[in-house]
Every structure is written in structure tokens, then in C-alpha cells.
Structure 1
């Protein structure tokens, strides 16, 4: 299990949910991971788990909505490890509301925690990823692709992330950098809470998944992230990989 041996990876939102699932999959493949998260308590707990597999992995506590401090995340990793191979932009916060009730504050929350951190971290990481011919993995969503109801702010930011990822794939290809996206349906804590609050909506969603289940955080989503971070995906860039059990089939 060494597809990512000696690779240095940053995963935002890495303390829990999909981010944690990816981080666990990465360290088991030999990567040294820097998880970035706002929640210090959960971050410290997660990094202890990761260090059982990769003792050099670290936790960086950061508020990704503070744009002026985003570059310091990259700087800390470069200072400690001397290089960066993989950037995973996973973190995102938003509020679900009907379109007509969505406010500027709602849009700001979604873009300031999802789109802008993705954009600015990609910019800050670029000089270092040029040196390693690295990989960028960003996150899309079926909410944006389908235009799901009550998801205006989230869908807008996710589709904006898809747009800049395609631009970056075209521009960064000459440096040997791959830029791809994962669009998941995962058995995350957020989905579990939503299922309890809206069981009818949850069952309706589940019925639209041909494989009949939610993706597991590490073994399903995490393993695809390992593939995109490894040399196995060297000839893939600019793509949205639907890790959703077949719910959406892009053409």
C-alpha cells in the first residue's frame, strides 16, 4: 500500500467527514498529510488517529474564510516538509434555503468557505506544485450539476469551483499538474443528520442511487481520491468524477 509513498498532501476540512476519510486513505498509502480545519478539538483527535499510520502528519487550525491567512497554510507545509505534492480542497459550509429566501450573507458564507479558499489555495500552491508536477483535487456537487432545490448558494459556489478547475486544468497542464474534481454522495455526519431530520427526502435520494447505498468515506470516496492523487491518474485532468453510486451520469 504505497501509491502515495513520500507524498506531501494538504486536505482542507480534513478533521471529519469526507476529509477525514480521504486523510485516512492517504496515510495508509504512505502520504504525509496536513489536515486543515477550523475545529481544533476534532482536528487534534483526528491527527492522533492519522499519526498511528504516518507519525509526521500534522494538523493546522485555520479559518478558511480569512483570505489573508490562506497562503500561510501553504507556507507552513513547505517550511516543515520542503515540498507539496497534493492539494485537496474539500472544506465548504452553506445554508439550505429556498431561492427567494437566500440572502447575501448566505452567498458570502458559501463562497467564502468553499470557492475563495479553493481559488486562493490553488494560487498559493501553484509554484510548489510546478516543482513536483503535483495534483489538485477539488470538490463538486450534484446539487450544482442538477440545480437542486433549496441549494442556491451551495450550488453556485460548487459550479464556480468546477469552472475554475477546468480553467486551471487547461492552464496547468503544461506544468504537468493534474486538476480534477470529485462529486460525491457520502455517508457523512451531515447526511446522517439530514436523514434523521428529513427521512422522506433521504429515502427519495437513496432511491435514485442505482447501487442502492451511500458512499463510504474512506473506502469509496477516499480510494477515488487516492487514485486521483497518484500516478495512476497522470493522463486525467479537468474531469468531474461522479462518486455517487450512479445517481448522475454526465455526458
Structure 2
């Protein structure tokens, strides 16, 4: 416990799902967390839960697709806490469509909410992470690694995030900044909805997980994020950490 004591973390998409699971794991380890989310109602509810463990944690309502506002997220964290130790780029929206039905609007949604915010927030956070020798955690996906059917726009953005994460690991390493990826399979609200809409596809996916279950948001995904945010991972950078029950084995 308290592996993140005194650390300041920003988590995008932190009001629900994997983001909230990580936020809960972080505050229980002593971090002051800034959750950033589009949904104000859910964000305000979630921050109340986080403040039970860390009263100084705050919520910022923001549309990450408005790229002009991204610098302000970093600045608000700095103005509030005076430093930044951890940046977690988790938020991402996309539509599941067959290849022949995808439009430019579909690509814009995926890249404007996933890839570009990840890039611009990393860029804006860099001067402050240099000061703290901080950590960046980005998110990739088995959809990109496997080429999942119906996931072209999501997979493309996730693989683009993987690419810039590896570049950043090389460029930021001399400053003592670690940059890694988590590729999860988790029991999130989005996956639960997908399971209802595509039950056969869901059962097929579950059958390919050797551990036979979906990851828990806080205890599985959140704890790995804590590890990557803590000094325990100081000698790990540029890596894709598969938190997926063994579904994909990278070589």
C-alpha cells in the first residue's frame, strides 16, 4: 500500500469503466488523482467515491475531441497540485462497423478522441514529467494486434498510439520518464453492452482467454496500472503489457 503516496496522476476517461478502476486503485495507494471525463454527472459521482480515500482528488469535465482544451487540463492539474507525476491516457470512443461501411466521420471519432488527445496530452505534460521523472501509461488493444472484425477505426488508432508510445519511450527515456502501454480485456460497461449486442462474438472471445474470465476493473487492470505508475517499474519502458488473461502472447 501507499506505493503512490504523494504522487499526482491524471486519468482520462476516469469517471467509469477501466478509468475509474484505475483511479480507485491509485487513490488507495495514496495518489491524488485528476479524473477527466466528458460525462459531468458520472464524473461528479465518481469523484465523491475517490475522495473517501483521497480528499484532494478532483474532477475536470472536458471533451477531449476539443484539442485546444487539452493544454488546459495539464495546466489545471499543475495549478492545483504544483506538479504532475503520472499521465494515464485511457479515454477513447469509436464505432464498430464493417470495413465497407466506414466513413471519414468514423475515423475522425476514433482518432480525435483516442490518438490525438494521447499525443497532445503527452506533449503538454512533458515539461512537468521531466521535473518528476514521471510515468506515462497509454492504452493499446487486442483489436489492433489481432485485426478484430468490425474494429478498423479503433484498431488503427490504437496501433498509432502504440507507435508513438515506442517513439516516446526512446525520446523520453533520457529524462527518466517511463512510457508504457496496457492492452486489457476487462469487464467494463462497454464490454457488457457489447456482450448483449453480440453474444456469439462475446462467447468466442471469452473462450480464447486461458484464465477463463474477464479482468476486474480495479483489482486486475488497476493494480497493473499502479505497478506501471510506481517505482517498481522504473526499468520498464516502451512495452505493451498484456492484461488479458493470456488471450494474446506477444513475441
- Pairwise TM-score range, normalised by the shorter structure: over 0.9
1:78 is aligned to 2:78:
yes
Q: In the alignment, what sits opposite 2:134?
A: 134
Q: In the alignment, what sits opposite 1:7?
A: 7
Per-residue deviation at 1:164?
0.1
Whole-Å separation in 2 of the counterparts to 1:237 and 1:93: 26
1:19 is aligned to 2:19:
yes
Q: In the alignment, what sits opposite 1:214?
A: 214
Map 1:167-178 → 2, pairs under 5 A: 167-178=167-178
The Cα RMSD (Å) is 0.4
Whole-Å separation in 1 of the counterparts to 2:198 and 2:168: 37
> Deviation per CA, 1:18-45, whole angstroms, max 9, x where unpaired?
0000000000000000000000000000
Structure 2 unmatched ranges of 5 or more? none
Q: In the alignment, what sits opposite 1:58?
A: 58
Map 1:95-174 → 2, pairs under 5 A: 95-174=95-174
Per-residue deviation at 1:153?
0.3
Per-residue deviation at 1:239?
0.1
1:48 is aligned to 2:52:
no
Per-residue deviation at 1:199?
1.2
Per-residue deviation at 1:185?
0.2
Aligned-partner SS, 1:242: strand
Aligned-partner SS, 2:182: strand
Whole-Å separation in 1 of the counterparts to 2:198 and 2:127: 45
> Deviation per CA, 1:113-139, whole angstroms, max 9, x where unpaired?
000000000000000000000000000
Whole-Å separation in 2 of the counterparts to 1:89 and 1:167: 16
More displaced, 61-70 or 191-200? Answer: 191-200
Per-residue deviation at 1:210?
0.2
Per-residue deviation at 1:73?
0.1
